[in-house]
Structure 1
Amino acid sequence: MNNSKAHRQSAHIEFLKSTGIDFPFYAGHPVTVSAGQWLIVLAAVAVGFMCLTLKVPVLTGDLGIFIRALLFPVIPLVVLRALAGPHWRALFRRLRRADFGWMLGVAALNLVISSLVGVLVMKFLGAEANVAVEALAGQSSTEREWFFLRSIPQLFGEEVLTLLPMLAILYFCYQRLGLSRVKAVLIAWLLSSLMFGLVHLPSYNWNWLQCLLVIGTARLVLTLAYIKTKNILVSTGAHIINDWVIFGIVLLGAAEG
């Protein structure tokens, strides 16, 4: 073991002793997921995303779309369970009272920042509307109920879509490139947020700048909830609050119209 690697591992052990909490799967806490295993997990993330986005003949209608939304996060989590064993639960932590404050705080911060960035992008670069959200205004009460219901597993799936690649990048930067923990976290945070923006390209008529600047920035803020708490439930809660506020604004606008 070279001195640099030994120093990093020693620093990491001290960090764990002082905080008792860290990101999972990249440095032996609770287990390390290897490079090959991460490739399998990322492939499962892609399959889950395709279940959500591609039309499946046998899964149509409100119930079918809801099942596809469930498969979105379930498929990669099942694969992670097969590879990491019971340690897959390291993505989750018991919710504390303070976690609900983080959900609300991060959601509020994201609404402010993404709105400001959105206004600037719209003014100087032009922006596209999200067709799925716009369609909410013209839906029946039943359709809206299904929309909100399936948004819960879908938004949880978006957290899985973001955070598993983030942890994979963290592993690669820390273990393979030998970067410090701080640098590895920053790179993983940025790259996973950019990726999240790019997967939204079809939803925004392939407006690259809008997806990278507006959606990517929103993702950076939402991921702060996970970086702070190491709990996917907290970032999911912040994401749901954020999007439901946006949905509510759309519905209020439709009612006034």
Structure 2
Amino acid sequence: MSTETVTETETAAPRRAASDLPFYNDLPTAISGTKWLVIVAACALAYAQLVLLPLPGSAQAQQWMHAILFPVIPLAALAWAAPQGWTAIFRRVRVRDIGAMIGFGLLCLTASCALAMPLAKVIGASANPSAHILAEASTGQQISFFLATLPQLLGEELITILPMLALMSLLVRWGWSRRASLATAWIGTAVLFGLLHLPTYNWNVLQCLALIGVARLFLTLAFVVTRNLWVSTGAHILNDWIMFSVPILLSAAAITL
């Protein structure tokens, strides 16, 4: 093999890694099946501490501790499994990425609103309890809540995207095509994400699958299109901040009237 051919081969992998989703195809670095299990287990642990682990301090302090641990646990597992390439899920945020955040966030919000009213008449709907709490909270508590959602929503992205890449890796190793693997992992993790919201929405399975699961499809699509977890996180933040702002504005309007 000539030196020129070797050089082309060595540079082809970084180019493919930059243009494709990371890790499922051993680019930019390989993650073994055992390490994927550890990463997925870390995602499960991160979610478990969020909903089950009692922590000392006030409700506000607990929210912050849970919110910080939520992304730190899966990120630590990913850094352990891929020490030379764990940052591949993050890319530099450019102007077009900010536009993508806004576009996917509004797309997600529009889809949720379009489905919410007709589905509520058919299957019923439970409100997010945080919305009621926020409406009655002080301004300082409201600001703290919104700021704490920044790390928490990053955590929600991690516990969705990392299992998606893990499932893609497994299916590709089983001989599935990239397209079939991605479609299965995309839909499967959206269903899982919806089911994780069951305690929040009074165990309404249909609401979690039809509303939360569909919204998750758009948020994951933001990552698939841009290969940048900052974009899907930004879209998620925009979507949730708008939804949580509505009851606050309505409460303020009612007081004014």
Taking structure 2 as the reference length, the TM-score comes to 0.90
> What is the alpha-carbon root mean square deviation over aligned residues?
1.8
Q: Is 1:166 matched up with 2:168? A: no
Q: 1:56 deviation in Å?
A: 1.6
| Alpha-carbon distance in 1 for matches of 2:145, 2:123 | 30
| Corresponding residue for residue 239 of structure 2 | 242
1:144-165 alpha-carbon deviations (Å, 9 max, x no partner): 1111111111111100111011
Q: 1:111 deviation in Å?
A: 1.0
Q: How does 1:1-257 map to 2 (within 5 A)?
A: 20-58=18-56, 60-176=58-174, 178-257=175-254
1:206-234 alpha-carbon deviations (Å, 9 max, x no partner): 00000001000000011111011111000
Q: 1:24 to 1:242 in 2, by over 3 A?
A: same
Q: 1:17 to 1:68 in 2, by over 3 A?
A: closer
CA contact (8 A) 1:16 1:22 kept: no
2:212 counterpart letter in structure 1: I
1:249 counterpart letter in structure 2: V
CA contact (8 A) 2:14 2:28 kept: no
CA contact (8 A) 1:59 1:68 kept: no
1:27-50 alpha-carbon deviations (Å, 9 max, x no partner): 121012121111111111111112
- Over the matched positions of the two proteins, sequence identity in percent amounts to 42
| Alpha-carbon distance in 1 for matches of 2:14, 2:27 | 9
| Alpha-carbon distance in 1 for matches of 2:230, 2:191 | 21
Q: 1:18 to 1:41 in 2, by over 3 A?
A: closer
Equivalences, count = 244
| Alpha-carbon distance in 1 for matches of 2:189, 2:204 | 18
Partner of 2:199: helix, strand, or coil? Answer: helix
1:30-81 alpha-carbon deviations (Å, 9 max, x no partner): 0121211111111111111122112423254312320211000101111110
| Alpha-carbon distance in 1 for matches of 2:136, 2:181 | 45
- Structure 2 stretches lacking a partner, 5+ long: 1-10
- Structure 1 stretches lacking a partner, 5+ long: 1-12
Taking structure 1 as the reference length, the TM-score comes to 0.90
Structure 1 moving runs of 4+ over 3 Å: 13-20
| Corresponding residue for residue 5 of structure 2 | none
Q: 1:93 deviation in Å?
A: 0.6
| Alpha-carbon distance in 1 for matches of 2:16, 2:48 | 41
| Alpha-carbon distance in 2 for matches of 1:91, 1:140 | 37
